[in-house]
């Protein structure tokens, strides 16, 4: 078990056209002026109402099926519980001071609901290799009006930078849409196309050159 993340000083990155990240990931330069902050767990919980607005915009858009009640549950139940987990990290993108996108995760362990649910349906060798001690990406969302400017990519980049984890996991939509395309572009590999409940499982082996994202373990 890794040590619980202590409150860390806020780190900001002002995205600029000259970012090497821009060149490395080939993302578009229209996100000038956006700022990405790493929020400490308590700051993330304080920001829950603002994050809920982003949640409902992103997951309540046509083609997605979450509503305001889901956003409320996210803000009042899910996030406070997850903020207590080991190595919780939330990154928020701001435009004119307002949060327009966020991503977060923590260290996933056996005995938690999602890792156990996944371990129960994937081949034993895959579970053995990937599940437990991984960094679990739980949410990524960008408000509709701020999408397609490279923010989702920049948020994932900021989330993964500096993590010590060798493996990372997430689940996303099985069909072809922005989220799975973004993960694939960033080096995530499809581990299980459908877990049985309409979600695909993706993994990032951060020890491999193919996962040459920022802060790659062993890089
Ligand atoms: C997935 C999501 C977070 C991506 O956010 P985003 O800020 O739009 O991400 P990016 O801008 O980095 O990339 C998205 C697309 O915009 C394109 N793009 C980026 N900048 C662009 C620009 N300036 N002009 C035109 N297109 C651009 C990217 O190439 C990418 O294209 P693709 O979908 O055809 O592959 C967002 O679509 C979202 O919130 N979706 C709903 C919630 C969701 O699915 N969350 C993930 C759950 S697992």
**Closest ligand 1 atom to 103 CA:** 3
8 pLDDT band, cuts 50/70/90, is very low
User: Residue 55's Cα: distance from chain center in Å?
Assistant: 13
CA dist 206 and 214 (Å) reads: 10
Residue 155: which residues within 8 A CB-CB, separation 6 or more? 36, 91, 93, 101, 102, 103, 140, 142
Output 124 or 18, whichever has higher pLDDT. Answer: 124
For residue 152, the CA-to-ligand 1 centroid distance in Å is 6
Say if residue 24's pLDDT is above 60. no
**In percent, how much of the chain has pLDDT > 70?**
81
The mean of the pLDDT values for the chain is: 87
For residue 151, the CA-to-ligand 1 centroid distance in Å is 7
Whether residue 184 has its Cβ less than 6 Å from ligand 1? no
Say if residue 85's pLDDT is above 80. yes
The separation between the first and the last C-alpha atoms of the chain, rounded to the nearest angstrom, is: 23
The full set of domains in the chain, from first to last, is 11-211 (3.40.630.30)
Average pLDDT for 189-199: 97
Q: What's the pLDDT score for residue 32?
A: 56
Query: Of 99, 150, 177, which is best to mutate to test ligand 1, by the most ligand atoms within 8 angstroms of its C-beta?
Result: 150
Q: What's the pLDDT score for residue 214?
A: 55
The residue contributing the CA closest to ligand 1 atom 22 is 149
Q: What's the pLDDT score for residue 174?
A: 98
For the question of whether the overall pTM of this predicted structure is more than 0.85, the answer is yes
């Amino acid at each position: 078990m890794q040590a619980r993340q202590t409150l860390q000083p806020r780190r900001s990155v002002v995205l600029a056209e000259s970012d090497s990240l821009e060149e490395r990931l080939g993302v578009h330069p229209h996100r000038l002026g956006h700022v990405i902050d790493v929020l400490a767990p308590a700051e993330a919980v304080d920001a829950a109402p603002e994050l809920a607005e982003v949640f409902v915009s992103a997951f309540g858009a046509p083609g997605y099926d979450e509503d305001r009640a889901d956003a409320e549950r996210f803000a009042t139940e899910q996030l406070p519980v997850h903020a207590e987990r080991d190595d919780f990290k939330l990154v928020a993108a701001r435009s004119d001071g307002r949060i327009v996108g966020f991503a977060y995760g923590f260290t996933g362990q056996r005995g938690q609901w999602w890792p156990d649910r996944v371990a129960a349906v994937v081949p034993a060798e895959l579970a053995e290799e990937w599940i437990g001690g991984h960094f679990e990406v739980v949410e990524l969302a960008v408000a509709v009006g701020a999408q397609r400017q490279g923010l989702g990519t920049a948020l994932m980049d900021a989330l993964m930078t500096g993590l010590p984890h060798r493996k990372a996991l997430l689940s996303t939509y099985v069909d072809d849409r922005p989220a799975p395309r973004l993960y694939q572009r960033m080096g995530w590999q499809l581990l299980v196309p459908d877990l049985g409940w309409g979600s695909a499982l993706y993994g990032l082996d951060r020890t491999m050159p193919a996962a040459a994202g920022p802060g790659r373990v062993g890089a």
